Chain A
Amino acid sequence: MLEKVLTGKKHYWMLIGGLLALMIPGIFFYVKQIQEGLAVTGMSRDVSWGLYISQFTFLVGVAASAVVVVIPYYLHNIKQFGRLVILGEFLAVSAVFMCLLFIFADMGQPFRILNVLLYPSPNSLMFWDTVALLGYLVLNLVIAWTALSAEYKGVPVPGWITPLIYLSIPWAISIHTVTAFLYAGLPGRPLWLTSIMGARFIASAFASGPSLLILLCLIVRKYTSFDPGIPQLKAVARIVIYALIINLFFIILEFFTAYYSGIPSHRHSLEYLYFGLTGNGSLVWFMRISLVLGVAGLAGLLFQSKRENTTLLTVSLIAVFFSVWLDKGLGLVVGGFIPTPFESITEYSPAITEIAVSLSIFAVGFLILTMLYKIVITIRVSNEG
């Protein structure tokens, strides 16, 4: 099946070439980062995690959200999701891959990465996150690949895969819960010290991940002769609506607890993020745009359901995706560090290195995704044709 990656039309090669080109600057910047140390990033003693860890956090959500198509298809036997399941699982594979690369990019001593395996420390959530992510990567790769092979050969999916599919469902929830636990268990960071962190992570993941999946399917539909099916995509969009409402509700809950209790430490980070604190607030507009995009995306999704054309659907999903990205892939991690334990403020903005390296990693992820989707589409088109 892998050989399908090597043949394609002009569009396919242009996309591959574009993604490879996007990788190049990041490689140079990463080499510089290895030589100079992380001083070439915008991170600091006070804001010690930045764009890299934010992207990691966001992408774990994207990976976990594959379960949104897996559950209806395998647990509720809703056949119409069958056309989406493998696409969802391969999206998860590429997202987990990007997660691992972002962690790697963030490390001060990347050549010591094997210490994580040599000195496994179950007291650390980072250990469990590594186990969860690697396990999830293997599960999705095995499940999707086996199902696709069966489809390719025109034989039924082998039975041994069923327990793995059932295992992958709680596993998907667990990867994002454990990622939330990375933050929610730290005593000195009031923004993160909230028990709905895990639930909010899953809600925002189920809003952003499936949004991306539908958008990818719309692209597939437009540029290839494989059609995942508009009714199917609209069904997934309904899940996005519910998840998005829950996520916005959770944001209100966070505000309520912080502001009604009046505990300064719990209020400060939210104040910094949405209103600015003592004149500092480099993220204020991003966070407000995130809220506006979230609400606008929700309205758009509610209105599009009765429409034939997909323009409003597309625009709304883009809005939802970027709303969650700004909130979780930028504000959440950085906001947790501000104010500092000394109640001072050190602002953070990503350096060119971080932006270039991040783009590179996204390019790697989308390259993997493109190739995996190419295999799926080629097989489906020839089977259906």
Chain B
Amino acid sequence: MQINRRDFLKKAGIAGVSLIAGGMLYKVFKGDDIISVTDQSNVNTRWAMLIDMKKCAGKPDCTDCIFACNKGHNVPEIADIRREIKWIWKADFESVFPENTNEYTDASVRSQNVIVACNHCENPPCVRVCPVGATWKRADGIVMMDHHRCIGCRYCMAACPYGSRSFNWKDPRRILSRNDINAEYPVRTKGVVEKCNFCAERIDTGKQPLCVEACTERAILFGNIADSGSEIRRALKGKHVLRRKAELGTNPEIYYLI
């Protein structure tokens, strides 16, 4: 059989493309990292947070939870709002709950600081859009980030309705001073997205999140909302609570007690 260079190149090209396409198809169908919309009704663990805004408002200048988180997770403090990295922070009531503010809302309520972080949605848009599975939802509901895999496309930032995600516009090591770094927890590299992880590294070893532990007012309650006997469920009983933009169907797991 005679085969000339042209045909060989053509066939090699076709074979190469089919091999890559076949590999991708196999991965897609094997469904390794694909999130599936599972029935949430018989889940045993759903981590959730209840923030008592009254207790929090008692100390308007307090930043204990934010400080503990930043320190523990090596979150750099950046003054330029365009480059900021935030895991947990404060915003005024009016901008956190615009739909719950009206003309007659007291100025004190309007400007009251509310603690915000990633809501660890039950139905997270960020997870839906990630092209590489670098952000995904664990079985216990925590929306995780794999900074090793993130390609920095920032699609998740466009998808998040809560502005909970931050991008490392530059190398955070250039901002963090060596003495401030908690050596036990990694920093991030430039070009990846990050956000609150509900302290997965602590929860997995039976500890409470850093912000919860740091709050002297005990304004943040953390627990398993799927367990009807849990403290958070008892605290929720008979109370009217708010969740951010609940109408979007994301089912946020941070509840606010007003």
Contact = CB atoms under 8 A, between A and B. Distances in A.
| A and B associate | yes
Interface of A: 36-39, 43-46, 48-49, 103, 106-110, 112-113, 115-127, 130, 138, 182-183, 186-189, 336-337, 340-344, 346
Contact of B168 (A108, A337, A343): A108
Contact of A341 (B131, B162, B166, B169): B162
11 contacts: A37-B171, A38-B170, A39-B190, A48-B154, A109-B192, A110-B151, A123-B128, A124-B155, A187-B125, A188-B159, A188-B160
B252 to A, nearest CB: 12
A121 B28 CA distance: 7
B33 A119 contact: yes
B95 A342 contact: yes
Given A107-B151, A187-B125, A123 B81 contact: no
Contacts of A183: 158
Contacts of B192: 108-109
A109 B34 contact: no
Contacts of A336: 158
Find the residue from B33, B149, B159 having the highest chain A CB count within 10 A. Answer: B159
A14 B189 CA distance: 43
Nearest to B36: A123
A122 B160 contact: no
Contact of A113 (B23, B125, B151): B151
Shortest 9 CB-CB distances between A and B: which pairs? A108-B152, A188-B161, A108-B191, A44-B82, A126-B131, A37-B190, A341-B163, A39-B169, A39-B170
B24 interface: yes
B27 A120 contact: yes
Contact of A119 (B27, B91, B170): B27
A340 B86 CA distance: 15
Interface in B242-258: 245, 248-250
B17 to A, nearest CB: 7
Contacts of A116: 131-132, 151
Question: Which of A107, A119, A343 has most chain B Cβ within 10 Å?
Answer: A119
Contacts of B129: 123-126, 186
B82 A106 contact: no
Contacts of B75: none
A118 B171 CA distance: 26
A48 B159 CA distance: 11
A95 B17 CA distance: 21
A342 B128 contact: no
Residues of A contacting B: mostly = loop
B167 interface: yes
Nearest to B129: A124
Contacts of A48: 154, 157-158, 167
Contacts of A118: 27, 132
A121 B158 contact: no
A188 B128 contact: no
Given A116-B151, A341-B245, 10 more contacts: A37-B171, A44-B81, A45-B83, A48-B158, A107-B151, A115-B149, A118-B132, A182-B155, A188-B245, A343-B98
Contacts of B158: 48-49, 183, 186, 189, 336-337
Contacts of B167: 38, 45, 48, 108
A43 B157 CA distance: 12
Given A108-B167, A116-B131, A126 B160 contact: no
B223 interface: no
A49 B193 CA distance: 13
A78 B24 CA distance: 39
Contacts of A188: 125, 159-162, 245, 248
B250 A187 contact: yes
Contact of B131 (A36, A106, A130): A130
Contacts of B171: 37
A121 B130 contact: yes
A121 B153 CA distance: 14
A298 B7 CA distance: 49
Contacts of A130: 131
B125 A123 contact: no
A38 B191 contact: yes
B105 to A, nearest CB: 14
Nearest to B130: A124
Contacts of B72: none
Contact of B190 (A108, A115, A126): A108
A119 B135 CA distance: 12
A56 B129 CA distance: 18
Contact of A121 (B33, B84, B98): B33
B214 interface: no
B9 interface: no
